[in-house]
Amino acid sequence: MERKLLFIALFFAVFFAGCSTEDVNNFTSKPVNVEKPDTTIPNDENDDPIVIVDPIIENIVVAHRGAWKKNKLPHNSIASLKEAIRLKCKGSEFDICISADDSLIVSHDPYYNNLLISTSKYSELATLKLSNGEILPTLRDYVKTTKSNTSTTLLYCELKTDKLPAARKKVFVEKTNKLIKELEAENIITISSFDYYILKLMREANPLIDLQYLNGDVSPEQLKSDKITGACYNISVFKNHNDWIESARLNNISLSVWTLNDSESIKWAMNNKFNALVTDEPELAIDLAKQ
């Protein structure tokens, strides 16, 4: 029996002599905080830990026509969208028009290089590139780029209806809704417009998608009645109708404000707990949010 015990003692002495301090420490268990679990995931020993936060809650910055200004990128370009994604903005705002062949063109203005989009085919428009050499993007391009590059930055898509008759507005809604469903993008896109009629058409076509009205002449109570889920108004509207801020919250209407490019206005929106602020200065807004 004594020989057996001596053999066991010698075995453990040799085993632990060959172990490093790190190996020995690995045998000790660490207490697990069940009530407050770890909130960081290290990638590897050379990377900073990734802090798990909800960027949609922490970040209310929406880049107006993408993050274009600092790097002199074209408005409403894939490059400005990617820069908004790189900055980890809550969203990237852009505009779409419908062409003569029912293509959904990313453009703020009804004209592109002197061609009226609503009476031109995409094949004609696409021959004229953006200033950075990009081909004129489409809604499909924007959705696919977003889905392949981020899981947090959202799309804020404004439907432009200038010079469109009612019949074409219906086609516009039909084509937009069809593409969003095809690309399974309902959870990453909000549709907005100054045209109340087209938002009501979109709600009839899609009962789930987020909708924002931009013009500022409809109360939160009326928006709720018409099933429009958000008010995205100019800051002057909310300052003149301060009661609409509280009314929107009571009626479960999301609050967004445009277009804030100075520190005072940006801080005002943050202090009033808006869900989103639209800005041409996303870098400034992000810096202010960190203060």
Instruction: Confirm whether 49 is domain-assigned.
Output: no
pLDDT band at 8 (very low <50, low <70, confident <90, very high): very low
Rounded Cα–Cα distance for residues 196 and 201 (Å) = 9
Mean pLDDT of the chain: 86
pLDDT band at 278 (very low <50, low <70, confident <90, very high): very high
pLDDT band at 163 (very low <50, low <70, confident <90, very high): confident
Residues above pLDDT 90, as percent of the chain = 79
* Exposed / middle / buried, residue 37 (Cβ in 10 Å: 0-12, 13-18, 19+): exposed
Q: Which DSSP category does 70 fall into?
A: T
Same domain, 185 and 249: yes
**Tens digits of per-residue pLDDT, 71-98?**
999 999 999 999 999 999 999 999 999 9
Distance of CA 254 to the CA centre of its chain: 14
Same domain, 140 and 218: yes
Q: Which DSSP category does 224 fall into?
A: H
Distance of CA 21 to the CA centre of its chain: 48
Sort residue 149 into left (φ over 0), alpha (ψ -120 to 50) or beta: alpha
Could you list the residue range(s) of the whole structural domain that residue 13 is in?
Answer: 2-41
- Asked if pLDDT for residue 217 goes beyond 90, the answer is yes
Same domain, 179 and 265: yes
Same domain, 138 and 7: no
- Asked if pLDDT for residue 283 goes beyond 60, the answer is yes
- Asked if pLDDT for residue 7 goes beyond 80, the answer is no
